[in-house]
Each structure stands twice: as structure tokens, then as C-alpha cells.
Structure 1
Amino acid sequence: MAQPLPESTVAAGPFSAWLRRMRRSLLGKEGMDVPCGDCVGCCVSGYSLQLRPEDQRAAARIPATFIVNAPGFAQGHLTVRPLSSGLCPMLEGGRCSIYADRPQTCLDYDCRIFAAAGMDAGGEDKAVINQRVREWRFSYPEPMDRREHEAVRAAAAFIRDRRDSFSVRVPAGPMGIAVFAIKSYEVFLDPAVVNKNGAEVARAVLEAVRNFDTSA
């Protein structure tokens, strides 16, 4: 079912410029600069908050009762669990109480990635983010901006809908799919991709992701 169009729109910026910066962010080379305005969607949607060892200023301001070990993360990485309401415990009066010292996870989070991939951030628990995702509008100052956006969406649709084409497990959640699409979109810039079977495209996607991850 098609999602309802939002009553308002929010400028997301030129697509290709955003894409380049997002790829640098995924490589840990640069953070994102998100024009959030008064939106606090990521603060009210039940996200756990990763604390890296370098997030010392944030860790010093977060009560220890909210911090737990993070299974699956590297040694020294911790997690701030959301409240049962889904709110970040550091949200006070609708605003981040540690904004100046917020951890890198917060600096890197950019819900425009879902708009780029053409999907919501999740279910009803992500309703606030989903609303903003549907409001984002990228601009296309050059033909390549639109071509790259179409390629990212094609990559996300393939990863989401053609999972049986992959020989290994690929992300199933919206964030994982969107990140995979950002890493592998160049596969879908090639017009010849339409002449390849699913297994061939899947191999090309995995190779693109591996090449991206090793380019840091």
C-alpha cells in the first residue's frame, strides 16, 4: 500500500553531495550534518545508543544506571538503553540534555538514508522518524544526482526483495538494507545490470560492499 504524502516537505539537499558525505561517514572519515530542526525522531523511537571508547564526554554525563555492556560490539563499547517508553534517557523537556557532548552515534545518524533508499525506518515504533523520512526531498542540480538516487533505490529494492539470490545472509532490517544500498549503488548505474540474472547481480552487490568496506 502506498504511503500517504506528507503535508509538508523538508529540503534534504543535493542528492549526490549527500551521498558522497554519507559514504565518507560510513567509512568513519566524516560525520553527518543533518538539518533536524525541531525533530527528535531518533530520540523517541526506542533506539539503543552505542558509546564508543572515544565518547568520554558523553559517558561522563550519562548516569551509570542507563549504561550496559553491548553484546556483539568491540571491547570497550557500551550501550545506553532507551526507557520503556522508547525515549532516550537523556531527552529532557523534548530536548537533548547532552547535545554538545552527544556521542558519535548521534552525530552519524541520518534518517535521510531511508528517504534515499525509498523505505520507512521501521514500524509503528518508528512513526516519528517515518514521518520525517516521507517529508525529506532531495534536489537534483545535475543529471547524475537523479541517476544516483535511482541507483540507490534500485539497490535497496533488490536487497530487500531478492534475498533468495544471495549466497550469504544479507541485512533484512531497513537500516542494514539502506547501508548496503549506499555501499553498492554503483552496480545499478550500469545499464547492463538489467540483462543479468539475480545471482549475478547479487554477487556484484556483495563485491561492491566488500570493496567499499576495505577502502577505508
Structure 2
Amino acid sequence: MTQFPAQSSVAAGPFSAWLRAMRRSLLGNEGMDVPCGDCVGCCVSGYSVQLRPEDHKAAARIPATFIVSAPGFTKGHLTVRPLSNGVCPMLDEGKCSIYSVRPQTCLDYDCRIFAAAGIDAGEGKDVINKRVHEWRFSYPERSDELEHAAVRAAATFIRDRRDSFTVRVPAGPMGIAVFAIKSYEVFLDAEISDKSDADVARAIIDAVRAFDSLQAG
């Protein structure tokens, strides 16, 4: 992670509790309750916001000029493009103007995922990266520490040992972090260091597929 000057810290909550909430969110079961405070990093960093068919209340509030079709999206899924300065068009005087009906994409977004994975959010995401470096998880149990270490180990492996995979894996920060959240249990194995990189890569893919099958079911 990039080194930032000394700054205040922001409580991110107990790690294991956060991890389980994030996994439930990735399965589409609930959104994340993020203690954003006055931070609007995700609203000013050039993100497009996916609109799913079930986001009809949000879509009804967003001017059509900002809604476009995006290549690769599932049929019926659209996206809200940011303004030229990277700001979400629904941000009004520093606040979300459709907060009560915001899309599921916004409910799911939690920049603590980057702090969990030990990586930055990417170039051009300075506001988010500042908050990423401020987050401080707590570890009330030994399992909190072990699980956080496993998530970071998974993210490091996915990022640095891409050649070990026989299928395409994410290269961007969010994709890497999500893969790590889905597959971290691989690195809870005490014998993981004895396995070849190819075996670890296969175990990661198997874990991700098993996780995704829960959503499909």
C-alpha cells in the first residue's frame, strides 16, 4: 500500500464480523453498513454505478441522460456514468440526493475491502485511498487476526502470482479484493506453505466457484 503521511484513524469494526457481513453482501443477501461519516470518496472517484432491474426506484430518480447501456452487462442492467470531473451526478452539495433509494451497487460498496486486502483502491482514487489508510479493524478474538492475515495472503497471491492460474483472475484492486474475500479460507490451512503455487491457485479458483455457487443457488 502507498505510504500516506500520519493521519487520524477510523474504527472499521471487528474484522471477522465485517468479513461475514461482506461475504453476505457479495451473495446479494444484504448491503453493507459503512461508517462513512462525511467521506464521499466513492461518489467523487469516477465510478460508474450499475443499475440492476430491481433498482427501479433509483432509476426513476436519475435523469435519463446519465443512464447508459454498458458492454458486457447482463440484459436489463444499465449504468450511471459520472460527470466529467468524476463526481456522481446524484451528489448534491456533498450528499447523495437519492440516498434512501440508492442502487444495490452503492449499498454493497465498502472501501474497507481494500484495507482488508492490504491494497489501495487504484490510481485516481486519492480520496478513497486516504480513507483506506485510516481504517483500523479490531481483533477481539484470535480468529479475527487469523482471518485478516488469510485475506491479505490471498490478495497478495492473486496479485503477485497470476502466472500460477490457468484461468483469468482479476487484475484490478476491487476484483483482487473480492476474490480474496471469497477464497481466504484457503490460507487458513496450516499446510498451505507446503503446496505448490499451482495447487494454491487451483484451491483459490475452487473456493471462488464454491462461493459463487451459493449465489447461483
TM-score tier, shorter chain, comes to over 0.9
DSSP-derived class of the 2:53 partner: coil
Within a 5 Å distance, the mapping from 1:101-116 to structure 2 comes to 101-116=101-116
State the match for 1:189 in structure 2: 188
Match of 2:87 in 1: 87
How many pairs does the alignment contain?
A: 215
Aligned twin of 1:19: 19
Structure 2 residue identity aligned to 1:164: D
1:24 is matched by which residue type in structure 2? R
Q: Aligned residue for 1:215? A: 214
For 1:1-216, list aligned pairs within 5 A: 3-123=3-123, 125-216=124-215
Asked if 1 retains the 8 angstrom alpha-carbon contact of 2:2 and 2:120, the reply is no
Name the aligned partner's letter for residue 86 of structure 2.
G
Structure 1 residue 73, shift from structure 2 partner: 1.0
Distance 1:188 1:6 in 2: 31
8 Å Cα contact 1:5-1:134 kept in structure 2 = no
Deviation at 1:4, TM superposition (A): 2.5
Shift of 1:5: 4.9
Distance 1:108 1:12 in 2: 16
The residue identity in structure 2 corresponding to 1:116 is A
CA distance in 2 between counterparts of 1:210 and 1:2 reads: 31
Q: Aligned equivalents of 1:25 and 1:115: distance in 2?
A: 17
- What amino acid sits opposite 1:128 in the alignment? V
Alpha-carbon distance in structure 1 between the residues aligned to 2:171 and 2:202: 17
Unaligned runs of 5+ in 2: none
Supply the AA of the counterpart residue of 2:141.
E
Task: Using the TM superposition, give the Cα deviation of residue 64 of structure 1 relative to its aligned residue in structure 2, in angstroms.
Answer: 0.5
1:6 deviates by 4.0
Can you list the C-alpha shifts for 1:100-147, whole angstroms capped at 9, x where unaligned? 111111111000000000000001x10000000000000000000000
Tell me if the contact between 1:12 and 1:138 (Cα under 8 Å) persists in the aligned partners. Answer: yes
The gaps in structure 1 that reach 5 residues or longer are none
How far did 1:84 drift?
0.8
Which amino acid counterpart does residue 75 of structure 2 have in structure 1?
Q
- The answer (yes or no) to whether the contact 1:116–1:153 under 8 Å persists in 2 is yes
Give the CA RMSD over aligned residues: 1.0
Distance in 1 (CA, whole Å) between partners of 2:5 and 2:136 is 12
CA displacement at 1:70 relative to structure 2: 2.0
Measure the CA separation in 2 of the matches of 1:213 and 1:101.
26
Q: Give the % identical residues.
A: 77
| TM-score of the two chains, using structure 2 as the length reference | 0.97
